[in-house]
A and B are shown apart, each in its own frame.
Chain A
């Protein structure tokens, strides 16, 4: 498959030049379609001290279809769903926005940007978004609390 060559190249590139704050693992060496990323919270954000595990799944039509992103570590953030899926809603991952030349490192960079600067108007967790907008202090407390509780393991 043509996709394999692309994925192998991306893996190579990303390992020689990992995006800021990210380390990449293949949980199963023979399965290059499932990546496990550990992302360090962006410095100077409420998540700075946390390590977040993110599962990146590449569909079989990748790169014609966008990868799937799912937070395995719980995170208090308006744009990440607070459930088993830990889904993150990113514009570039929508089928009509995704372009095949887009790379996983671009996606990870965007994830990190959104961690640093939540987008409450585009939220999946509307409750958290409300709090983010109206009571920043409470939001930051909760976010730090969750980092303490869930994101210090690794």
Chain B
């Protein structure tokens, strides 16, 4: 019940974070790291507890369940409650589903008024009688198909609404296949609210539907529980359990990863959007959708060289552009001279608030607010785009590396550094992207400046790595050590940024220029 903020830190660290988070975060922080594959296993934990690396502020505890685990969970709860209520398992399962798996509420109301609960859940009185079975009837007319031949196979539950098995089956098949119902299918009888129990279903549902039916039962189980969510990735079978509640979402961004390495936010089931809290993400996405002026901007994938005016298409992830024609080196973001960015004067991530004098003019103000929005949107979209380009480059390079490998004496293991670099770039850009949405809603104060410094450091590291990444394959081998260093540095900056932001979010230290709702 009480999964308040404090609890997020209390249990063993779950080392999955974003895609393959474990591998890229591991090893680069100074704390002692213990292989915590054993997770919550108490036997191993007692001794190693003190040695275990402290969990980061941006990490949350969660468990991943396979469909089998979820089935077991349900079975266990059914067993438990069945013993308490002294009801058969089928009936208990129906009761639990009816109460949306709220055990406490079921038991309480059952104890209060057993008969009412049973009839509401469609169980009527006495269900300990004979199990459901198919009966052959003469002198019977099915009220659905009007078939009345002798020797008709029929079926009815305890409510005695009897129909021929063909009709009963077709009715169930339609409910399951077309309406996606499973847990709360009612008896086909006119006005009857009895729910078709699992024994009857097992008997009546044709084998080709059994899987679908069980899958649907599983769906409702997970959907009914606040602490369980399906991985939103297409066709992914895993469910994730996390104690973070809706009301916690303004103080924590619960990024989780399923066993198929799909990272997502447990709060809103969108892709990982750390460090930005769900409510701001929602606002931001809505804003981006609404602001039609930016549509033009988005479509602009090309820019002109600020010196000679040649049209340039960005085809790599790095912001350092060199014009093919005039050799002008400039920054893709601000179009300023690259030399002015240098290494220490990289100042492209920060929006300088203009002095308030202009603000009196409302027109200027709105122009400024649009400009401010575009500043952040610009950078947000750029990281999104760059992440894609980085990935493309990686795939291209990977192919070339395979070729290179056969011609040089580098082994495949030795070129793995490229993959780590690519992963780091993807993760960092994902975070950087959302830092701009986050920054857009931040009020301007000292803390915001610290945040922007962290953002700048990470961004610079990422752009450096991205630039190396674009080199020709034959040059890459020589850059191996440098790239590994840069990768580690990026990951380190990434953790620092996330951890600091998450810590302040948890402690409610951020001041926003909007309300978190």
Contact = CB atoms under 8 A, between A and B. Distances in A.
Contact of B188 (A2, A3, A95, A100): A100
Given A2-B166, A61-B174, A64-B170, A101 B179 contact: no
B157 interface: no
A6 interface: yes
Contacts of B32: none
B147 A5 contact: yes
A133 interface: no
A32 to B, nearest CB: 13
Given A95-B179, A99-B188, A100-B188, A65 B146 contact: no
Contacts of B192: 99
Interface in A26-85: 61, 63-65
Given A99-B190, A100-B188, A9 B146 contact: yes
B189 interface: yes
B179 A5 contact: no
A64 B171 contact: yes
A25 interface: no
B145 interface: yes
B395 to A, nearest CB: 47
B414 interface: no
Contacts of B143: 101
Contacts of A99: 186, 188-192
A102 B179 CA distance: 19
B174 A2 contact: no
- Chain A interface bracket (under 10, 10 to 19, 20 to 34, 35 or more): 10 to 19
Contact of B174 (A3, A5, A9, A65): A65
Contact residues of A: prevailing secondary structure: loop
Contacts of A5: 145-147
A103 to B, nearest CB: 9
Nearest to A2: B145
B144 interface: yes
B174 A102 contact: no
Contacts of A61: 174
Nearest to A5: B146
B174 A6 contact: no
Contacts of A95: 179
B489 to A, nearest CB: 58
A6 B146 CA distance: 5
B144 A101 contact: yes
Nearest to B191: A99
B141 to A, nearest CB: 9
Contacts of B186: 99
A63 B166 CA distance: 13
Interface string B190-214: 1110000000000000000000000
Contacts of B163: 100-101
Nearest to B141: A9
B468 interface: no
A102 B143 CA distance: 9
A3 B174 CA distance: 15
B167 interface: yes
Contacts of B166: 2
B373 to A, nearest CB: 38
Among A3, A9, A65, A100, which residue has the most Cβ atoms of chain B within 10 A?
A: A100
A57 to B, nearest CB: 18
Interface in B161-188: 163, 166-167, 170-171, 174, 179, 181, 186, 188
A6 B179 contact: no
Contacts of B188: 99-101
Contact of B167 (A2, A65, A102): A2
Contacts of B190: 99, 101-102
Contacts of B174: 61, 64-65
Given A2-B166, A95-B179, A100 B171 contact: yes
Interface string B109-153: 000000000000000000000000000000000011111000000
Given A99-B189, A100-B171, A63 B144 contact: yes
Contacts of B147: 2, 5
Nearest to A65: B174
Interface in B188-243: 188-192
Contacts of A9: 146
10 contacts: A2-B145, A5-B145, A64-B174, A65-B174, A95-B179, A99-B191, A100-B144, A100-B163, A100-B188, A101-B189
10 pairs of A and B residues whose beta carbons are closest in the complex: A2-B145, A100-B144, A101-B143, A9-B146, A6-B146, A101-B190, A5-B146, A64-B174, A99-B190, A6-B145
Given A101-B144, A101-B163, 12 more contacts: A2-B147, A9-B146, A63-B144, A64-B174, A65-B174, A96-B179, A96-B181, A99-B191, A100-B144, A100-B163, A100-B167, A100-B188
